[in-house]
Amino acid sequence: AFLLQQQWWHNATHEVPGVNPHHEEIVSFTARQILDVFSPSNLPFTNPEVIARTLETGGTNLLAGMRNWSEDVLRMATGQPPVGTEDFTVGKDVAVTPGKVVYRNHLIELIQYAPATRTVLAEPILIVPAWIMKYYILDLSPQNSLIRHLVAQGHTVFCISWRNPQAEDRDLTLDDYRRMGVMAALEAIKAILPQRRVHAVGYCLGGTLLSIAAADMAHDDDDDRLASLTLLAAQTDFSEPGELALFIDHSQVNLLESMMWNRGYLSADQMAGAFQLLRSNDLIWSRMVHDYLMGERRPMIDLMAWNADSTRMPYRMHAEYLKRLYLDNELAAGRFMVEGRPAAIQNIRVPMFVVGTERDHVAPWRSVFKIHYLSNTALTFVLTSGGHNAGIVSEPGRPHRRYRIALREAGGRCRSADTWAETAEARPGSWWEAWTEWLAAHSAARRVAAPGMGAPAKGYVPLAEAPGTYVLQR
């Protein structure tokens, strides 16, 4: 009966005369959320596992579930993190790769990681994470830290750690993030390691910002600071951004602007709530059944603890990002202006390594793939198993991992995403290994002595131990 009801609502909310596709998707999404409330698996009297557990324990599972629910409500009301996150302290249990903060401004701390080898590849790596998340998604526990993996492979790694904005940061713009973030970090690296080209890496929103910065840098023929560009689950064309677009149209952005105006920022819980709705079965209902109906606490893992450590978004920057990129798609159209010049992706000439993930609800891989249509440079595209976070944090040795990979030569023909998926080489294992091979192939053949930390003679004195102070801001 429930499946028939689902099918009825699906038919009722699709191909409705006079309703545009965006509003049709909103109605369909809302209907799915309502139906989930009445799903037999989410109700105590129709879920066979819950019934069996209740009979087995004499109902103590429901009492334990009530205690779990009360504890969660209290923690939410008092602004405390979820149960179990205390086992993942930043700088002690996660984000523990050794390094120093070698530069700090109002918006970023730049971390330089200590070398793990006597010699290193000449070209350093700069990682630009999204400011919607804290950077240590790429430096979780030692066994699944991408940063630690790169250091172990002989790379000199720098990573931006973004400040968690307050109300007084309301007028920070998207260009401020470019100037005070990407460009300031590149200037610092140039001073610390002069005459070294940089492998620039951007994750999620950080990848979009890095693309804008790289496109602007490409206007200057003598600006050769970049050796390559790697984009991890990052969109440059927002014409089909997936289900996140359900929350983004002109009326909703105007409403969001008025809400942000009062505070000066978009709160972390508002952003987290939107992402939870996109994956309500995984992030809401499965937890409710396990923690409240079965009465068992789901073990906290490092990725879940990081996910609970969310950040705020400044009013002006976030409104600009939604309007200029999501709604108007200025970057893909070549209309995104930086200091009076269009930031055109097709101007980028350095080789690219672009990663999409199969189950990405934030940056769908077909949307990420569209960079093929915007660029002419050599582009290696990888489609890996997993989602927006777990697909990127995909360390070697993890079971059931796989990916597909293919190179489009500079000036080569573009193919559709589906054709690419059918013809790309399928490989088992972690895409990290393919990427480190690619980085080595695009680096100088001769390795150099591992550098010191910072450049005190040039004003880049180590300021603090990694992970720094900005990552600790709540």
- Give me the active site residues, please: 204
At a CB cut-off of 8 Å and minimum separation 6, what does 382 contact? 353, 354, 355, 356, 403, 404, 405, 431, 434, 435
What's the CA gap between 180 and 325, in Å, rounded?
A: 20
Q: What number of other Cβ atoms are within 10 A of residue 350's Cβ? A: 20
Report the C-alpha gap between 443 and 449 in whole angstroms: 15
What is the Cα–Cα distance from 259 to 256, expressed in whole angstroms?
A: 5
Phi, psi dihedrals of residue 177, rounded to the nearest 5°: -65, -35
Give 412's contacts (C-beta < 8 A, 6+ positions apart). Answer: none
Cα(375)–Cα(372) distance, integer angstroms? 6
Backbone dihedral angles phi then psi of residue 254, each to the nearest 5 degrees: -65, -40
Dihedral-angle region of residue 79 (phi above 0 means left; psi in -120 to 50 means alpha; beta otherwise): left
